[in-house]
Structure 1
Amino acid sequence: VTVILTTHYIEEAEEMADRVGVIRNGRLLMVDEKTAMMARLGRTEAHITLAEPMAVIPPALADFPIEVEHGGLGLCYRGGDGTGKGKEEVASLTKALTHAGIDYTGIDVRESSLEDIFVSVLGEGETPQPATAAREPA
């Protein structure tokens, strides 16, 4: 049985749907299993609060997509793009931090939502199509 649900509430689609399609201007841009789409187009972002400030990223962490933030008091990881392995990479990063003797006091991990992916696919800066001018009777 197939049920087609159209909605402007992306949270609703994320909660209820198994497959998701994205339509713009009447054209179907993509359709895929929700979990596959989220793994392929989603990303993982982690903010790690460090116990001691860090000025530069040590060589032991050079292979991770991280940046120093908050004046050296934190690290920001952005990765997992198209791999669906962001959480695994964050786990590897925390192990590498521990192995390098870098203490941290907190970590906040966020996965892309379906809405994040939707906005990315459609593009935030899309210019609206001009409205068709009304014609005056001849």
Structure 2
Amino acid sequence: MRVVVNLKPEEIPRYWYNVLADLPFKLDPPLDPETRKPISPEKLSVIFPMSLIEQEVSEERFIEIPEPVLREYAVYRPTPLIRATFLEEYLQTPARIYYKYEGVSPTGSHKPNTAIAQAYYRKLARKHNPFMRS
């Protein structure tokens, strides 16, 4: 039996959830590939805008999604949430398991989810070089 859940536009989250806030331990900082020591924000800022670096180390549970990013997301969101009933049966679990189907985006992938936000923050910081990750 296929179960599909579609959120109404007003139910779409307006905040990103930051798992760091709920971890029972602190993660090690990212390392500088040259020195193998924790990398400084200044060195990261060559590649990333400071706003993204601040988010990366933030311990806030929820980070507000900027309106321009939400408008771009609205082109292909909400994406369907599908219940994995066959997996539940295979695992013989009473848990309900769901997955997001991101194939409805213009690229057919989850990659715009981060690329849109990165482009937005790069534009705000006036970083116009195209180096981005996904």
TM interval, shorter chain, is under 0.3
Structure having the higher strand fraction is: 1
TM-score between the two structures when normalised by the length of structure 2: 0.25
Larger Rg: 1
**TM-score, normalised to structure 1's length?**
0.24
